[in-house]
A and B are shown apart, each in its own frame.
Chain A
């Protein structure tokens, strides 16, 4: 079963494209974070691919000119790529093409760096996409991804559920399930990345009203695109009740409401022999006991408290 309707995602992004620059603060936030992460890596990247780039994510990152050579940007929505306000900080204009992260059109071992900011939470097959990304990387190539996860929009989810139960006597899927951070590390490892690292950056954004939050989500092209979503529009009474509940439960003393965006970062390297890795079992040249300055006991004899 397909969880996400990718055709609908494309339409949402097409529609969001003209006004996207008013709603791209999370991408910009993530691209500044991305720049910091790249600066911590002591090398440059001749060819970088930015997948699901919206109107440019890596090309906006504040990086010195010699850090990245060419940037290739993809997005599912061609309209998004040719959007009005390209925010390009890099000197070389990025090359653009429309592509789906679920079926990437790049040759194996072609890129030195792959980045993807706030797009991969909407693929149906995240493990498959990660495997494709690892294959596209040259040996010792780097992948840095950011995706919405965990607690993202937990307030909206709760308010919506309560309102639906109250007004319609049931629930419908409205907000996507997000990947938990503990799952991401495992996915990276299974996709064959070396030295995978995951971490989260939880942001609280405040809005005047829940309606402002919904408008922002629409502007970002992030409104409900679950395949199983209810095809009839949300009833007005339910929407009103949702906003009431949201206000009651998640507003600050000044009346503004809180919304959580939980951005999860994943980093991993395409394997290369120069990377640190565990030695083969039995290949040690020094005895652990010597290193620890203790006497070695035969196997089977527990040195700690017995387990009986």
Chain B
């Protein structure tokens, strides 16, 4: 889950990734490097990372069930 290629990645700092949890469920987050999002499976939310700043606000997060799931 944590991207191990180092801290120089513009995406997100590894140290930060280690301590971040979903603010709603306090569950673990998965870093989606492609989309630049932090995904909380439990809350079905994807928190965006904008200009290197993770936006850990539920009202700014993308609802995983609204667009991507086909069924």
Kindly provide the distance from the CB of B50 to the nearest chain A CB, expressed in whole angstroms. 7
Q: Are A99 and B57 in contact (CB under 8 A)?
A: yes
Our pick among B13, B19, B51 for the contact of A111 (Cβ within 8 Å) is B19
B27-71 with Cβ < 8 A to chain A: 50-60
Q: Are A107 and B53 in contact (CB under 8 A)?
A: no
Q: Are A98 and B53 in contact (CB under 8 A)?
A: yes
Chain A contributes a number of interface residues (CB within 8 A of B) equal to 23
Our pick among B15, B18, B21 for the contact of A105 (Cβ within 8 Å) is B21
Chain B contributes a number of interface residues (CB within 8 A of A) equal to 22
Kindly provide the distance from the CB of A106 to the nearest chain B CB, expressed in whole angstroms. 5
Kindly provide the distance from the CB of B47 to the nearest chain A CB, expressed in whole angstroms. 8
Kindly provide the distance from the CB of B4 to the nearest chain A CB, expressed in whole angstroms. 18
Q: Are B51 and A95 in contact (CB under 8 A)?
A: no
- Known A98-B57, A99-B56, A100-B57: A107·B51 in contact at CB below 8 Å: no
Interface string of A95-109 (1 = CB under 8 A from B): 111111001111110
A29-75 with Cβ < 8 A to chain B: 47, 70, 72, 74
The number of A-B residue pairs with CB atoms under 8 Å apart is 59
- By beta carbon, the residue of chain B nearest A109 is B19
With A and B bound together, what is the CA distance between A95 and B15 in angstroms?
Answer: 9
What residues of A have a CB within 8 angstroms of the CB of B58 in the complex?
103
Q: Are A98 and B20 in contact (CB under 8 A)?
A: no
What residues of A have a CB within 8 angstroms of the CB of B16 in the complex?
72, 95, 97
With A and B bound together, what is the CA distance between A82 and B19 in angstroms?
Answer: 21
What residues of B have a CB within 8 angstroms of the CB of A78 in the complex?
50, 53, 55
Q: Are A106 and B19 in contact (CB under 8 A)?
A: yes
Interface string of B7-21 (1 = CB under 8 A from A): 000000101101111
Kindly provide the distance from the CB of B52 to the nearest chain A CB, expressed in whole angstroms. 8
Q: Are A110 and B19 in contact (CB under 8 A)?
A: yes
- Known A70-B15, A72-B16, A95-B16: A105·B22 in contact at CB below 8 Å: yes
What residues of B have a CB within 8 angstroms of the CB of A74 in the complex?
56
A contact set with B: CB distance below 8 Å: 7, 47, 70, 72, 74, 76, 78, 81-82, 95-100, 103-108, 110-111
Q: Could you write out 26 A-B pairs with CB less than 8 Å apart?
A: A47-B15, A74-B56, A78-B50, A78-B53, A78-B55, A82-B53, A95-B15, A96-B53, A98-B54, A98-B55, A98-B60, A99-B23, A99-B56, A99-B57, A100-B56, A100-B57, A103-B24, A105-B20, A105-B54, A106-B21, A107-B18, A107-B19, A107-B20, A107-B26, A108-B26, A110-B19
A-B contacts besides A72-B19, A97-B53, 20 pairs, CB < 8 Å: A47-B15, A47-B19, A74-B56, A78-B53, A97-B16, A97-B20, A97-B55, A97-B56, A98-B55, A98-B57, A99-B57, A103-B23, A103-B24, A105-B21, A105-B22, A105-B56, A106-B21, A107-B20, A107-B26, A110-B18
B contact set with A: CB distance below 8 Å: 13, 15-16, 18-24, 26, 50-60
